[in-house]
Amino acid sequence: MPRIAALDPRIEVIHIGDLMKAEGEGDVAASRELDTLLRSAEVIAGLRLPDGLLRRAPGLKWIQLTSAGVDHALDDSLRSSPVLLANAANLHSFAIAEFAFTACLTLAKGVRECYRQKESRLWEPYSPIILRRKTMGIVGFGHIGRRIARMANAFEMRVVGLRRSRSQPVRARYADLVLPKDQLGKLLEESDFVVLTLPLTRETYHLIDKAELATMKRTGFIVNVSRGPIVNEAALATALQSGTIAGAAMDVFAREPLPEDSPLFSLPNLFYSPHIAGWLAEYPDMVLEVFLDNLQRYAGGRNLQNIINKQRGY
C-alpha cells in the first residue's frame, strides 16, 4: 500500500483507493488490510467512502470530500457523530454557471431545431426567444446562483432568487429580488427560466414535483445543474409531454447513468447532458490544494475550510 508524503512530517498519508476497489470486488484480504488501516485513521479524504466507515474507524476526526455535494456520504450515523465533514465547494462554480446559462440559451434559441434543419437540409426560419426582459428564477442563491445571476444581468434579464436563509424578500447584488424558501411558488409563477442550484437534502428531495411544475408558465423552462432527485423525473416527463412547461435541461438525474428505458430520452423538448456541468480538467489538482490546505490547518489546530453543517446538509 503506497505511502504519500504529507506537508507535515508528523502526518502519514496512505492511499486506500485500490483496497476499496478490491473490497468491493469481494477480496477478503483487502478488506482485512483496509480494516487495519482504518482503525488508526484520523482523517479520510475522497469522493467515495469505505462501507461502514464510522464503525471501522473509531478514531476518525475529519472527512474531507472531494466533491461539492455531500448527500451521498451524509447518513444518519454521520449526522449524529462528532466527526467533522468538509467538502470542496466553490471550486467549479464558474463552470456550472457557464453550463447552466448555455442550457438556457440552447432552449431559448432553439439550437436543437437548427441542428435538425441542417441535418435535413431544410430552411425553415422561426422566432427564437429573446432573453432581454425575461425573468430568471434561481432556486438556491449561493455561489453558483449568484454567478448565473451576474450573467443574466448582462443579458438585461430580471433576476429572482430563492435562499433558505432569508426570512423576507430583499434586493441583493445581481438580483432584483431574493425570496425566502416559503415563496417558491411566487418564483415559479413569475419566471421564464427556473435554474436549480441548491444542495440535495431531506427538504429539497422532489422539491420540484407535479404541483410546482403546474405553477410554472406554460412557456417556461427549467434547468437542473444541482442534484437529480430535487426534480421528480416522472412528473417532469409528464409536464414536458403535456405542454405544462415548454422545455427543460437536465445535467443530473436520480439514477446515473440515466437508465436506457427512461422516458426522458425520447422528449424533444429536453436538453440532456451526462453530469458534465462542473467538469474541469484541472479539478483533481484544485481539490488536492483544498485538502492540503485543510491538512495544514488540522495539524496546526486551526479551523478547517468548507465545514458542512451536518444537520442542514450543506
- Tally of CA atoms within 13 A in the half-sphere of 313 that contains its CB: 16
The torsion angles phi and psi of 14, rounded to 5 degrees, stand at -125, 130
- For 52, the grid coordinates are 461502514
Specify the pairing of strand 175-179 against strand 170-172.
Answer: antiparallel
Cα–Cα distance, 2 to 308 (Å, whole number): 30
DSSP-derived 3-state class of residue 137:
strand
Amino acid found at 43: V
Residue numbers annotated as active site: 227, 256, 275
DSSP-derived 3-state class of residue 247:
strand
- For 87, the grid coordinates are 467538502
Q: How far is CA 287 from CA 7, 41, 45, 74, 138, in A?
A: 16, 20, 10, 19, 27
Q: How far is CA 267 from CA 106, 145, 243, 253, in A?
A: 15, 27, 11, 15
